[in-house]
Amino acid sequence: MSVSNYADLKKDLKRRMDSAVEVLKKEFGGLRTGRASASLLDPVVVDAYGSSMPLNQVGNVNVPEPRMITVQVWDKGMVKAVEKAIRDAGLGLNPAADGQTVRVPIPPLNEERRVELQKVAGKYAEQARVSVRNVRRDGMDGLKKLEKDGHISQDEHRQHEKEIQGLTDETIKRIDEALGHKEKEIIQV
């Protein structure tokens, strides 16, 4: 990373840290809670027209009620393929075709599965924290290089180090808050 000034470095670090939080939220979206969510079917890929396509490219995914997801399949010939793709996706869901609509009831989670999901959520959060710490390390290395090349003084280096640490702490706090929110969602019956 060749950065000629601190402002560019800080902007890049913030973007990368925000990106780590966004990835975490996307991963959390795929974790099943007791409630239906359209994002639950995001990983489902359908064999359609000789290639693999994301589910949302063969039909509309809706959540008409808290424990039901429906997929309105556009092509009547694809209903069986959509049903099979959801069943084979490893999500523990059992879809049922009803005309051109595939209904996917969301079964309630048992206590054992809730604990398991909390552990998975914790692993996702830890991966995000590690990612943020790696970004911080890159930032500290960038500061050393800026000082070595004479772009900033030793005092500025120390000041910017504190700012980068503050940015890191703030981002990790956001990760922990997202984890806490997801854990509450998982526990909720």
100 φ, ψ to 5°? -95, 5
For residue 56, the one-letter residue type is N
- φ/ψ of 104, rounded to 5, equals -125, 95
C-alpha distances in Å from residue 130, one per residue of 12, 150, 171, 182: 17, 30, 11, 19
Alpha carbon distance 31, 15 (integer Å): 25
* For residues 66-75, average pLDDT: 89
Q: What SS3 class is residue 33? A: coil
Contact between 52 and 45 (Cβ < 8 Å): yes
Q: Kindly report the average pLDDT of the chain as a whole number.
A: 88
DSSP letter at 55 equals G
Going by pLDDT thresholds of 50, 70 and 90, the confidence category of residue 1 is very low
Strand (E) positions, 38-78?
45-48, 51-54, 59-65, 68-73
CA atoms of 39 and 118, how far apart (whole Å)? 18
Name the nearest CA neighbour of 9 among 153, 167, 120, 118. 167
pTM (2 d.p.): 0.67
* Neighbour tally for 113: CB within 10 Å: 15
Maximum average pLDDT range among 73-77, 111-115, 128-132: 128-132
pLDDT digits (tens, 9 = 90+) for 2-39: 456 888 999 999 999 999 999 998 888 777 666 777 77
Contacts 24+ apart (CB under 8 A), 131-135: 131/20, 131/23, 132/17, 132/20, 132/168, 132/171, 132/172, 132/175, 133/168, 135/13, 135/16, 135/17, 135/20, 135/168
| Domains of the chain, earliest start first | 6-30+110-187 (1.10.132.20), 38-105 (3.30.1360.40)
Element containing residue 105 per DSSP (H, E) = strand 101-105
Is 153 a residue whose pLDDT tops 70?
Answer: yes
